[in-house]
Structure 1
Amino acid sequence: MNKTDRLLAIVLELQRNKVLRAEDLAATFETSVRTIYRDIQALSEAGVSVIGAPGQGYSLMEGYFLPPVSFTVEEAVALLIGTDFIEHWFDAYYGSKSRTSRGKIEAILPEPICSEASRIRKSFRLITTAKDVVRIQEKAFLEAIRRAILEERKIRFRYSKRIAEVDGNRQSVRTVAPYGLVLHQGSWVLIAWCELRQEIRHFRLSRMSELIDLEDRFMLPADFHLDVYQPPDDRNIRVRIQVQPDIADKVRESNNFYIETVEDHTEGLLVTFRVREPEELLHSVLAWGSSVVVLEPESFRHRVRDELEKTLKRY
């Protein structure tokens, strides 16, 4: 990074953060503290209102705004594709904001950069699929849940599980304190404290119904940070299957959440899954048909065979 780019980047960092030490800036830009001192001096001489507080660091004078920033073609394309992504995946509120943002970005771009960005952007496309029917339902809940998170209000909804609970029920009513939303493998997932289970649980928005905003408040735990949160890994059961070459690509490209390893063999693939319960793989294995064979555990082999026998009796 040359000096001019670094000076601009330092101002951007100071705008994003209230106070930064010279050591912090040196680490960010992989340079020496002495170089940062010289950069700060250069910014001050150029009229940038940088304030230095001994023992604390540097900050921008309140009310200082960076002059308009110019974008390269690549940066403009990244921003415009970002607005497309937000419109496609987020709720209606942010969808409308992404459209207005796109218009503003395009309006301030110089004509040559705008034309080139438009040409490059046409080589990318976010495809709408049949799954968008489910995504419409997700979007309907996304805005309400997002508001509840920001306002720290509890919500209640009916939730459908893929696998029945011990009591045989697949549906239950949950009252939760919503902590955050995660986009995981194309599906929105709510991370929340569940009053029924008395622990943090994960809920797919696509499996929710009858969502209700509650007046009850909650306080986000001081030690919970969504950006570093890691759910406990309780997938302790390994399932291994042999996949014939004719559907090897299909299984590999399925991006199944439970896949742990995929090994190539002359006779196809050897795929290892790690699950909480083998039932979580039942529908996938049945959908792959006779081109896959369950190797272990033996109990799951019997479960697949029993399901196939039931299917055969229907025909």
Structure 2
Amino acid sequence: MNKTDRLLAIVLELQSKGTLRAEDLADTFETSRRTIYRDIQALSEAGVPVVGSTGIGYSLMEGYFLPPLSFTIEEAVSLLIGTDFVVQKFDSSYGAKAQTAQSKIETILPERILDEVHRIRKTTKVVDPNLAKVSYKEKEYLAILRQVILTLTKVQFQYSKIRADTESHRHQVRKVAPYGLILINGSWVLIAFCELRQEIRHFRLSRMSDLIVTTETFLLPAEFNLQNYKTVDDRNIHVRMLAKQGIANRIKESNNFYLEEMAVKDEQLELTFRVRQIEDILSWVLSWGSDIVVIEPESLRIRVREEIELMSKSY
């Protein structure tokens, strides 16, 4: 990073994070504290109101903000592609804001850069063919849940879950304290404390119905941090299959969430999966026909045979 870029980056760091010590800035930009001292001096001489406090660090004078920044072609393309993603995957409120932001970005771009951005965007598109499209209901629920997370308000809903033994849908009323939202493999998931289970649980928005905002509020646990939160991995069933080598690329492209490992063994592909229940992988196995054979567990082999027999009766 050259000096000019570093000076701008220092101002952005101070503007976004408040007070920072010289050693913090030195670590961030991988340089010496002496260099940071010279950079702060250069910024002060250029009219940037940097305030230094001994033993505390540097900060920007209250009320100071950078004027509108210019974007490079690559930066502008990145931002506009990002707005396309928000329109596709977020609720209508954020989708509308993303389109507004897109218009603002395009408005401030110089004509030469804007023309180049449009040319590049014609060759780039955000498409996710392997993942289901976010439905209107999910986007509606997403907008509601975003608000109740901010206001620390509990919600209640019907939740549909497939029973492992019968594949029938079981509906339960859940009242939860919503902690956050995560987009996992194209599906929105609510992270919340469930009053029924008395623990943090995950709820797919696609399986919710009859969402109600209650009048009850809650306190977010001080130790909970969504950015550091890691979901519990309860995929305890190991599945092993053999497949024809010729479909290796197609298997990779299928982007199966449960696939752990793929290796060549005796001129065949050995596939290893970890699932919560055999129904998680059943439809995927059947979709490959005779190109894939389940080796273990026996319970999955039995379910595949049963499904094939039922299918044969339909024909």
Q: Give the TM-score band, short-chain normalised.
A: over 0.9
With the length of structure 1 as denominator, give the TM-score of the two structures: 0.93
Q: Does 1:13 align with 2:46?
A: no
Residues 1:114 and 1:266: Cα distance change in structure 2 (over 3 Å)? farther
Q: Is the 8 A contact 2:159 2:174 kept in 1?
A: yes
Q: Is the 8 A contact 1:164 1:170 kept in 2?
A: no
Q: Which residue of 2 aligns with 1:98?
A: 98
After TM superposition, the structure 1 = structure 2 runs for residues 60-75 of structure 1, keeping only pairs within 5 Å, are 60-75=60-75
Distance in structure 2 (CA, Å) of the matches to 1:301 and 1:165: 15
**CA RMSD after TM alignment:** 2.1
Distance in structure 1 (CA, Å) of the matches to 2:134 and 2:83: 21
Greater mean deviation of Cα atoms: 271-280 or 21-30: 271-280
Query: What runs of 5+ residues in structure 1 fail to find an aligned partner?
Result: none
Q: Is the 8 A contact 2:240 2:297 kept in 1?
A: yes
Q: Is the 8 A contact 2:131 2:185 kept in 1?
A: no
Distance in structure 2 (CA, Å) of the matches to 1:294 and 1:36: 61
CA deviations over 1:225-260 (Å, ceiling 9, x no partner): 111111122222210011224544333222111111
CA deviations over 1:180-232 (Å, ceiling 9, x no partner): 11111111111111111111111111111111111111111111111111112
Residues 1:88 and 1:168: Cα distance change in structure 2 (over 3 Å)? closer
Distance in structure 1 (CA, Å) of the matches to 2:231 and 2:166: 22
Question: Could you say what secondary structure the match of 1:312 adopts?
Answer: helix
Distance in structure 2 (CA, Å) of the matches to 1:257 and 1:63: 48
CA deviations over 1:257-294 (Å, ceiling 9, x no partner): 11110113564421100122223212221222222111
Q: Which amino acid aligns with 2:16?
A: R
Residues 1:236 and 1:269: Cα distance change in structure 2 (over 3 Å)? same
Q: Does 1:184 align with 2:203?
A: no
Q: Which residue of 2 aligns with 1:124?
A: 124
Shift of 1:299: 2.5
Distance in structure 2 (CA, Å) of the matches to 1:117 and 1:169: 48
Q: Which residue of 2 aligns with 1:275?
A: 275
Query: What runs of 5+ residues in structure 2 fail to find an aligned partner?
Result: none
Shift of 1:142: 0.7
Residues 1:298 and 1:108: Cα distance change in structure 2 (over 3 Å)? same
After TM superposition, the structure 1 = structure 2 runs for residues 244-255 of structure 1, keeping only pairs within 5 Å, are 244-245=244-245, 247-255=247-255
Q: Which residue of 2 aligns with 1:212?
A: 212
Q: Does 1:308 align with 2:308?
A: yes
Q: Which residue of 1 aligns with 2:2?
A: 2
Q: Does 1:23 align with 2:11?
A: no
With the length of structure 2 as denominator, give the TM-score of the two structures: 0.93
Q: Which residue of 1 aligns with 2:162?
A: 162
After TM superposition, the structure 1 = structure 2 runs for residues 31-180 of structure 1, keeping only pairs within 5 Å, are 31-127=31-127, 134-164=134-164, 170-180=170-180
Residues 1:245 and 1:163: Cα distance change in structure 2 (over 3 Å)? farther
Aligned sequence identity (%): 60
Shift of 1:3: 0.7
Distance in structure 1 (CA, Å) of the matches to 2:19 and 2:105: 29
Greater mean deviation of Cα atoms: 131-140 or 57-66: 131-140
